[in-house]
DNA sequence: GTCAACATAAACATCG
DNA sequence: CCGATGTTTATGTTGA
């Protein structure tokens, strides 16, 4: 899987034309893809190609490749996390909160999605960048911690030896003693150097991807980095530097928390009387080992075992095929007997579970806070479970809910990030939602659909997208729009748009032909993008009104969901404000990255109107969407085009301006437009 | 099952 | 002619 990683970088730059088509420009699909790709989706297709290309990739990796590689690793791990969690291994045990700071934000709903089925790509989609990073960091922190323990032990040992030697040396010739001391000291030194080196190394590796965020986000508070690949290795019982020793060390050094249950389920030999202590969850819940059916001894159930499924061993990193349970048991007892490796893996698993639990607790807490803030009944378990499993619709909406909620507490305008800030590494609403329900890489209209604040989203995860080869969960249209709106004069040439894409997203630094074609396609296709002849050529602008218009159909569905959701959560009274918030989130003040001036909830409402009102607009979406049309003027205002835009777009939209008044300065034109467009429209 | 939105691929046109 | 830019059509996927 990881093979998929580095590779595309290769194909990126050159627009791999296969010279088939008529003209050059569209060498799209690159060598491999072609039409078939569609089904699998871009990412899938990309992955496919990747692997193909990646195979050849030699040992060396470029930074970008390394980054990608690490991401893949992280995904792997994340997947494992979920996998494990889903397998019911949950054994509450809460450690000190050392790592709580880096608690991973894995949407509960995600965890419910039968992780086994998830591919790294999907994981990418499911976990928001911040989540991925968090995951990664969590592991890094873990590793670091373990390593430090290990090194510490080593040093202690050396010291001990040294002392012993010194004592013993009393009878020895001074010279000899001196030598020995020297040797030990050297050893010690080496040890330290090794440690430093190792840590450095890990850090460097880990930081490749973290750096960006560190510079700008809460992530920087996270512990030192550790190569994300370590964990898997640990699971596999190989590779991790200093691992063997580490095992024994960790046993004492690490704050092992776990439960008997876990232990039993892990190590066959009864001998395992884990020195594990029970902890309590943040919320005070004792982590009592709930005798889970699956955690009971494997001999129990004739046909099943928590570690056995689909004919293979589910031990982390094992996957050995076993024809039947008997064989599996045998395998379990031989391969996963009580030894250093197994215990280490077990510990890792415990950590995993702990993290997940911590996260769950946090999310619960947050939810409670939110609900409290919103004057709702706090102890409503539904919020969690409801959206999780059921229909895709609700689940996706849940995400929106979360996002909206995120900004709620602090005031509508608050960037979600800050809310979750220090502890929870960025939890972009749009992202989470987008990725989640987009399921496949190809589908990422979510953001659009649910109007996630792409701008804020981007602002928050700017660095991430910039460096991580992760496909942004936004539609091309929304991205293009964002690109255009980000500029002072709100107009961009095609090439500039390209540049924006590549500048903002690592993902778009590859497969250029494909996405460029898509960009062009989108520009042409969507009415919201208006081409304006400029002196130096043509520039593209955004007709915000038109853009918003596109959404009605989408949003029509949302309200329903909203209602469902709301009713389900007894959000009743909140309805209005909630929707307003929703709307708000849907209408990020895209302009400034700083966006969202806190506390101006009221100002947001209008937007809400728009969104809510939009659906009301029975316009045929676009086509001849005529009546209330008036786009041209609008952007013509905001856009400083040399030429009369009206002309250029005349054909497109003979729209008569309803809002001649938009003195739309480059500032917040949208608000204005919307307000005017749908004055006082209430969600109906 | 239908529909809308979207992604992707590709053919074709236009222009510098 | 070539490449960049635009337009349009076709097809497939997904969610409502």
The answer to whether the C-beta of A18 is closer than 7 A to strand C is no
The answer to whether the C-beta of A475 is closer than 7 A to strand C is no
Supply the pLDDT for residue A408.
Answer: 31
> Is the pLDDT assigned to residue A515 strictly greater than 80?
yes
The pLDDT mean for chain A works out to: 49
Supply the pLDDT for residue A133.
Answer: 54
> Is the pLDDT assigned to residue A306 strictly greater than 70?
yes
- CA/C1' separation A87–B1 (Å): 36
The answer to whether the C-beta of A182 is closer than 7 A to strand C is no
* Nucleotide of closest approach to A32 (CA, C1'): B9
Supply the pLDDT for residue A523.
Answer: 93
Percent of chain A at pLDDT > 90 equals: 3
pTM, rounded to two decimals: 0.37
Confidence of residue A301 (pLDDT cuts 50, 70, 90): very low
Instruction: Please report the DSSP string for A518-570 in residue order.
Output: HHHHHHHH-TTEEEEEETTEEEEEE-HHHHHHHSHHHHHHHHHHHHHHHHHTT
* Nucleotide of closest approach to A529 (CA, C1'): C6
How does pLDDT run across A83-142, given as a tens digit for each residue?
A: 444 444 333 333 333 333 333 333 333 333 333 334 344 444 445 555 555 555 555 555
Distance of alpha carbon A92 from alpha carbon A78, whole angstroms: 19
Distance of alpha carbon A519 from alpha carbon A523, whole angstroms: 6
Residues 162-221 of A with CB under 7 A from strand B: none
Lowest mean pLDDT among A59-68, A202-211, A335-344, A478-487: A202-211
Lowest mean pLDDT among A300-314, A357-371, A613-627: A613-627
Confidence of residue A314 (pLDDT cuts 50, 70, 90): confident
Supply the pLDDT for residue A110.
Answer: 34
Q: Is the dihedral of CA A295, A296, A297, A300 positive or negative?
A: negative
Percent of chain A at pLDDT > 70 equals: 22
H or E element: which one contains A313? strand A312-313
> Is the pLDDT assigned to residue A228 strictly greater than 50?
no
Spatial contact of A338 and A271, defined as CB atoms under 8 Å apart: yes
- CA/C1' separation A516–B5 (Å): 19
Q: Is the dihedral of CA A660, A663, A665, A668 positive or negative?
A: negative
> Is the pLDDT assigned to residue A37 strictly greater than 80?
no
Residue range A620-626: average pLDDT?
Answer: 34
Question: How is residue A312 written in tokens?
Answer: 């293979």
Supply the pLDDT for residue A573.
Answer: 33
Residues 498-517 of A with CB under 7 A from strand C: 498, 517
How does pLDDT run across A522-536, given as a tens digit for each residue?
A: 999 888 888 888 777
Supply the pLDDT for residue A518.
Answer: 93
Question: Which residues does A505 contact at the CB level (< 8 Å), separation at least 6?
Answer: A465, A466, A471, A472
> Is the pLDDT assigned to residue A333 strictly greater than 60?
yes
> Is the pLDDT assigned to residue A471 strictly greater than 60?
yes
- CA/C1' separation A373–B6 (Å): 37
Supply the pLDDT for residue A322.
Answer: 75
How does pLDDT run across A342-377, given as a tens digit for each residue?
A: 777 767 677 767 777 777 777 677 767 766 676 655
> Is the pLDDT assigned to residue A492 strictly greater than 70?
yes
Instruction: Please report the DSSP string for A607-622 in residue order.
Output: HHHHHHHHHH----SS
């Amino acid at each position: 899987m990881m093979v998929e990683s580095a590779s595309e970088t290769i194909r990126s730059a050159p627009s791999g034309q296969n010279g088939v088509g008529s003209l050059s420009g569209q060498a799209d699909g690159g060598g491999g893809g072609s039409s078939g790709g569609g089904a699998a989706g871009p990412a899938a297709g990309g992955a496919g190609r990747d692997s193909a290309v990646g195979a050849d990739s030699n040992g060396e990796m470029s930074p970008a490749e390394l980054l990608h590689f690490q991401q893949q690793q992280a995904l792997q791990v994340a997947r494992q996390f979920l996998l494990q969690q889903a397998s019911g291994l949950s054994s509450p045990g809460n450690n000190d909160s050392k790592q709580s700071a880096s608690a991973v934000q894995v949407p509960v709903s995600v965890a419910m999605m039968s992780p086994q089925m998830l591919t790294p790509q999907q994981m990418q989609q499911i976990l928001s960048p911040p989540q991925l990073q968090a995951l990664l960091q969590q592991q890094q922190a873990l590793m670091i911690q373990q390593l430090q323990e290990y090194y510490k032990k080593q040093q202690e040992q050396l010291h001990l030896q040294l002392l012993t030697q010194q004592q013993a040396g009393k009878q020895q010739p001074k010279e000899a003693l001196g030598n020995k001391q020297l040797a030990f000291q050297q050893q010690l030194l080496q040890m330290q150097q090794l440690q430093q080196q190792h840590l450095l190394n890990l850090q460097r590796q880990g930081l490749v991807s973290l750096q960006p965020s560190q510079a700008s986000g809460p992530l920087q508070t996270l512990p030192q980095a550790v190569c994300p690949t370590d964990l898997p290795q640990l699971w596999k019982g190989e590779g991790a530097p200093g691992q063997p020793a580490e095992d024994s060390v960790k046993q004492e050094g690490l704050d092992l928390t776990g439960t008997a249950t876990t232990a039993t389920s892990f190590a066959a030999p009864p001998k395992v009387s884990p020195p594990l202590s029970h902890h309590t969850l943040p919320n005070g819940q004792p982590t009592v080992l709930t005798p889970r059916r699956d955690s009971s001894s494997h001999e129990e159930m004739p046909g099943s075992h928590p570690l056995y499924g689909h004919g293979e061993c589910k031990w982390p990193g094992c996957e050995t095929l076993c024809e039947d349970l008997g064989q599996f048991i045998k395998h379990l007892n031989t391969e996963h007997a009580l030894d250093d490796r197994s215990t280490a893996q077990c510990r890792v698993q415990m950590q995993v579970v702990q993290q997940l639990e911590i996260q769950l607790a946090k999310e619960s807490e947050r939810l409670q806070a939110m609900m409290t803030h919103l004057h709702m009944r706090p102890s409503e378990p539904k919020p969690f479970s409801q959206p999780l499993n059921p229909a895709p619709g609700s689940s996706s909406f849940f995400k929106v809910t979360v996002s909206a909620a995120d900004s709620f507490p602090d005031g509508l305008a608050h960037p979600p990030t800050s809310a979750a800030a220090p502890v929870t590494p960025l939890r972009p609403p749009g992202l989470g939602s987008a990725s989640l329900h987009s399921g496949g890489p190809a589908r990422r209209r979510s953001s659009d659909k649910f109007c996630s604040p792409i701008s804020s989203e981007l602002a928050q995860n700017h660095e991430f997208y910039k460096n991580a080869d992760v496909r942004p969960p936004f539609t091309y249209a929304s991205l293009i729009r964002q690109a255009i709106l980000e500029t002072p004069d709100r107009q961009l040439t095609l090439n500039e748009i390209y540049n924006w894409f590549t500048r903002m997203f690592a993902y778009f630094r590859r497969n250029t032909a494909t996405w460029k074609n898509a960009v062009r396609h989108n520009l042409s296709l969507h009415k919201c993008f208006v081409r304006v002849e400029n002196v130096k050529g043509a520039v593209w602008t955004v007709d915000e009104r038109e853009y918003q218009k596109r959404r009605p159909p989408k949003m029509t569905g949302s309200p329903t969901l909203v209602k469902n959701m709301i009713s389900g959560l007894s959000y009743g009274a909140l309805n209005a404000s909630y929707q307003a918030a929703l709307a708000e989130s849907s209408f990020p003040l895209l302009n400034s990255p700083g966006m969202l001036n806190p506390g101006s909830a009221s100002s947001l409402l209008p937007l809400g109107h728009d969104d809510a009102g939009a659906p009301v607009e029975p316009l045929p979406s676009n086509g001849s969407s005529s009546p209330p049309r008036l786009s041209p003027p609008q952007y013509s205002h905001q856009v400083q085009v040399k030429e009369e835009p009206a002309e250029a777009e005349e054909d497109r939209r003979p729209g008569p301006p309803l809002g001649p008044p938009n003195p739309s300065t480059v500032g917040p034109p949208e608000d204005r437009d919307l307000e005017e467009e749908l004055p006082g429209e209430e969600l109906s």
